[in-house]
Amino acid sequence: LLASSEKDLSWISKIQVNQPAVLRRAQQIQARRTVKKEWQAAWLLKAVTFIDLTTLSGDDTSSNVQRLCYKAKYPIREDLLKALNVHDKGITTAAVCVYPARVCDAVKALKAAGCAIPVASVATGFPAGQTHLKTRLEEIRLAVEDGATEIDVVINRALVLTGQWEALYDEIRQFRKACGAAHLKTILATGELGSLTNVYKASMIAMMAGSDFIKTSTGKETVNATFPVAVVMLRAIRDFFWKTGNKIGFKPAGGIRSAKESLAWLSLVKEELGAEWLTPALFRIGASTLLSDIERQIYHHVTGRYAAYHDLPMS
């Protein structure tokens, strides 16, 4: 990591992303046929372990956070896991993700369920990031005090759009400091950054400033996780690894709803960064409805028919 005094970010302005090449690569991923049968079931179960099971609604209450935490601990129906002989593998989601005001509820619910799934909290004026820096930093500290061990922060998009790279670096450094021992996941809100070149630059700055993960979107923008953006962010992670030896995690979020899509994301990460990135420590999927579709596909694989609504009441 660079100390503030020795950072020289002039090279950032010279970076250019080859957009046609990125779009070609993104099309390749989408055109590929997916794995089938038991291989598909195995990959889908793996995908479950990468999910940050999320609820970020204005009408969140302690009871639906409790339900979310129960689902995080028991993501797939027990009899389906038994049929696949993986019921003893301890399959849970990677984390639950909530608003700062709901962190206490989530910590309490997971403790009552007797499991150690981490609680992630969004912060820093999520989703727009348009609040005073002092308030944004306080929000991080309060979420950590309440028991969040992962903080998903949003960057100030204006700093990217106006090319203020040093100011962006300094802000994320302050987020990092406020997190203390908690993991810092930095949301770039790529749909609002204007260009793929800006996505690469913001990714680099976020990693240099000490982010443990870089994340595509809040899920509240009009454009969320897309494959072209993912290719650029994954190449930035690879470049950063080659330069520093530090492995930074990747989290696509927003709009990933189908089991089939989740498999495309897994294979993209495996191809771009290697199998060693396919671990919850380095790869997450931010999703609220994806898990239900994965459970439906597993149900179909086991029983040969699609689930009726009442078959999977907790999804």
Per-residue pLDDT of 251-273, as tens digits, reads: 999 999 999 999 999 999 999 99
Instruction: Place 30 in a pLDDT band, splitting at 50, 70 and 90.
Output: confident
- pLDDT of 109-158, one tens digit each? 999 999 999 999 999 999 999 999 999 999 999 999 999 999 999 999 99
215 is catalytic: yes
How much is the mean pLDDT over the chain?
94
Of 1-15, 87-101, 154-168, 270-284, which gets the smallest average pLDDT? 1-15
pLDDT of residue 31: 83
89 is catalytic: no
Please identify which of the residues 14, 89, 215, 270 carries the catalytic annotation: 215
Q: Please give the C-alpha separations between residue 294 and each of 42, 77, 80, 264, in angstroms, as whole numbers.
A: 11, 11, 12, 13
Sign of torsion over alpha carbons 236, 240, 243, 247? negative
Domains of the chain and CATH, by start: 12-311 (3.20.20.70)
Could you tell me the pTM of the whole model?
A: 0.95
Please identify which of the residues 111, 251, 260, 270 carries the catalytic annotation: 251
Give the integer Cα–Cα distance in Å for 190 and 195: 8
Structure tokens at 194: 């204007």
